[in-house]
Amino acid sequence: MHLRFVILIYNLLLPLALLLMFPGYLVKMVRRGSYGRGFGERLGIYSASKRKILGGLDRPVWIHAVSVGEVNIARKLIAALRDLDDELPIVLSTTTPTGFSIAEKSGAELVIYNPVDLWPVARRALKEINPRALVLVEAEVWPNLVKGAGRQGVEVSLVNARLSLKSERQYRRFRFFAAPVFSMLTRVCVQDKEDIPRWRALGVKVDAIMHLGSIKYDSQGVVEPADSSRFREVLGSYLGGASRRILLAGSTHPGEEGMVGKVYSRLRERFSDLYLIVVPRHVERLDQVLADLRSIGLNPGLRSKMESLEEGDTRDQDCLVIDTTGELGAWYYVADLVVIGKSFLAHGGQNPVEAVFAGKPVFFGPHMENFAALVDLFNAQGCEMQVANEEELEHRLFKELDSSENQPTMVKRAKEAMFVHNGAAQRSAKAVLGN
């Protein structure tokens, strides 16, 4: 009765919420250009070609991943599922256009946009896909989709389950509504043992919780992206063949480009071979990013134009902004030093693991709330990645640039800290298949 009541309230409020959000959605469609792509799929309506593909799949595993980060986790999971059964059909859904472009390289038989969680839409999508299992990545638990899957006898797994302190507080506040929804999950695969009681407190059944480690932090099967070697060549040509040490600021948020730019400007007075590459988290902020860098005396170039410029056209450009999407992982391998964004002037942090896997010294600011357990892991290993402010960041970067002695130690310790998560993708794949 409790669950029915919650679902009823949810289905009464969701259409109203979607109606209120629609103007903002339209703005995003205009700003991002391709945001309206797959509009029919978001309503559970598929093209003839995709319906034909679905018709040829024998009860696929349906994996849902919201955007880029979740899709990259899904790609690892898919590889692990293929190791267990190389003929296993897989459908991968995502919400964002950037996530979709990466999902297309996942090896899934079909990539679609995730249906909005209206009851008739979720029911239609489940009927069309007819999955043997539904896999949700990290934190996407949609009530109608989960309930509909349960009605069809489909097991629902939440893999790489993530519960930030902010999310936990919100769920606890509305536990009356959240607990019945979480109780419908067949299994919840958590990243850290410390999360087990927190998920139990939110209504997940005790026997449904499994501690399997983080797929995101699983280094097994990680290889250098093929694009990184090409990026090195293109960058070398862009810089006129000059040998430079690359300081990369990844997934930056408002104000952080200017902060890192100031640090870079001061450091290059001592280290003339230093070169800055900035990768904003949201490309639609490009105009503001360029303005902030120019305001401190830098003249940035653009990744989208670097391959078309004639020799000599870049002589006045003293930093580079990556204004293309889906390339950050490859650029980490090009870098010599990495600064993680959303950790200085914004809160929550961004994932530093890809940079660690790339074998680079990594630094982040005081606000890594979304990755607190990981930061604790690094701190316990003596990695000394976290800095308090702009001044400390400059000091630590100076030390790394002035001597290479510390670099192997930091990199080695960081990789050792990640060892506890090795095999997480394989363990999660087995759990999803009920092995």
My answer on whether 41 and 168 are in the same domain is: yes
What digits encode the pLDDT tens for the residues 247-293?
A: 999 999 999 999 999 999 999 999 999 999 999 999 999 999 999 99
My answer on whether 191 and 145 are in the same domain is: yes
Ramachandran sector of residue 240 (left: φ over 0; alpha: ψ -120 to 50; beta: rest): left
Q: What is the mean pLDDT of residues 292-304?
A: 95
What digits encode the pLDDT tens for the residues 379-421?
A: 999 999 999 999 999 999 999 999 755 566 888 899 888 888 9
Amino acid, res. 126 = L
Number of domains forming the structure of the chain: 2
My answer on whether 81 and 94 are in the same domain is: yes
Q: Which domain holds residue 107?
A: 32-221+422-432
Q: Compute the distance between CA of residue 23 and CA of residue 318 in angstroms, rounded to an integer.
A: 40
pLDDT reading at 15 higher than 90 = no
pLDDT for residue 273: 94
Q: What is the mean pLDDT of residues 1-24?
A: 83
Using alpha carbons, select from 101, 143, 136, 138 the residue that is nearest to residue 121.
Answer: 143
DSSP secondary-structure letter at 58?
A: S
What digits encode the pLDDT tens for the residues 95-127?
A: 988 889 899 999 999 999 999 999 999 999 999
My answer on whether 210 and 255 are in the same domain is: no
Amino acid, res. 226 = A
My answer on whether 298 and 159 are in the same domain is: no
- 10, part of any domain: no
**What's the angle, vertex CA 316, arms to CA 315 and CA 319, rounded to 5?**
100
My answer on whether 316 and 249 are in the same domain is: yes
My answer on whether 156 and 261 are in the same domain is: no
- 22, part of any domain: no
Place of tokens 């256009």: 97
- 8, part of any domain: no
* Domain CATH number, residue 191: 3.40.50.11720
- 6, part of any domain: no
Q: Compute the distance between CA of residue 238 and CA of residue 6 in angstroms, rounded to an integer.
A: 58
Q: Compute the distance between CA of residue 112 and CA of residue 63 in angstroms, rounded to an integer.
A: 10
- Beta carbons of 107 and 82 less than 8 angstroms apart: yes
Q: Compute the distance between CA of residue 244 and CA of residue 267 in angstroms, rounded to an integer.
A: 13
The b-or-e profile of 338-356 (16+ CB within 10 A means b, else e) is bbbbbbbbbeebbbbbbbb
Q: Compute the distance between CA of residue 411 and CA of residue 361 in angstroms, rounded to an integer.
A: 6
pLDDT for residue 31: 62
My answer on whether 150 and 76 are in the same domain is: yes
My answer on whether 279 and 427 are in the same domain is: no
- Beta carbons of 71 and 101 less than 8 angstroms apart: no
